[in-house]
Structure 1
Amino acid sequence: WNSELLGTHIGYLPQDVELFDGTIADNISRFGGKSDAKGVLAAAKAAGVDKMIMRLPEGFQTRIGEGGAALSAGQRQLVGLARALYGDPFLVVLDEPNSNLDADGDVALAGAILSVRERGGIAIVVAHRPSALVNIDQVLVLSNGMLHSFGLREDVLANVVRPFPRQNSVVPLQQGASGHA
């Protein structure tokens, strides 16, 4: 495959999002050269970041500086997600896509994954936090580089995710030899 053509079929969001000095539109469109305002807006909407971008001083034309320095970590992650979704690639690979997201960002991520699936694409999500897997059908769990489990999301997560202790749980302190806790 020609690497330029391959890029139109694969979207990738790395764990450490790298944005470049330029505008938000440039970063979403992968510095494609020609102006594709409709495609950039569609990708931003799919990532749930369009409203945040429109609140910036110059909207999509806001310059973000090297590494996206003008944005928070969560904002950088969502702009990176929009870049991964730009052009509706068939295969979208998301590596720890919610590591810097708040609850609203998690909702946007779930919607983005669902939109990839609804248009017939494939989303591969690498995650430690189960909240990233809300709209995933199948889950594969690796342990020490080996297959630990694979199957339907609900079945696999029921076996590998430990429940949190209840909020109102009381854990008694053990008394030491001095009689103090």
Structure 2
Amino acid sequence: MVVSSPITPGQVSFLLGIIPVFVAWIYSEFLEYKKSSSPSKVHSDNNLVELGSETIKEDDRAILLEGGLTKSASAKFNSSSIKVNLIRFLTMDDSFLLENRLTLRAMSEFGAILTYFYVCDRTELLGDSTKNYNRDLFIFLYLLLVIVCFMTSLKKHHDKSAFSGKALLYLNRHQTEEWKGWMQATV
């Protein structure tokens, strides 16, 4: 017989946080589907505006990969306050949900993973199982993983940027400086 305990404040706050995010993500996916499935006019000026904004986004993305934030991208982050964004989220503003659809998806996936971990660890919904440990299999898989990592590190990468034609460095200065900043901030 399983004795259930009362719901804790942490469980309530988690559910009050994850359920609106999940609902907002589902609604933003519906809005994206509705926007992409609606027939658009071939010779419309609206399509020209959309195409122009997509090319700007691609240029910003290429610059970000090569060396850092552009001035226009950094201005976008500072222009809107947290309070305004929270109000737009709570009122389920269509344009806000479409802009942040991928972020809402990532937050929903993370919440689903946390919920799965909670169900597996703290409830009796899934039965117990016996652990099966094999030292030889573990060593074999570990060595196989090390060999695969070693072989992939030997491959030379000759990727060029589509934007500037320069070689893309996987550990470029901008990326290592950002890691350095994060390491200093956590100490």
Indicate the TM-score class for this superposition, using the shorter chain for normalisation.
Answer: under 0.3
Q: Normalising by the residue count of structure 1, what TM-score does the alignment of the two structures yield?
A: 0.21
Q: Which has the higher strand share?
A: 1
Which structure's relative contact order is higher, taking Cα pairs within 8 Å and 6+ residues apart?
2
Q: Which has the higher helix share?
A: 2
Structure (1 or 2) with the larger CA radius of gyration: 2
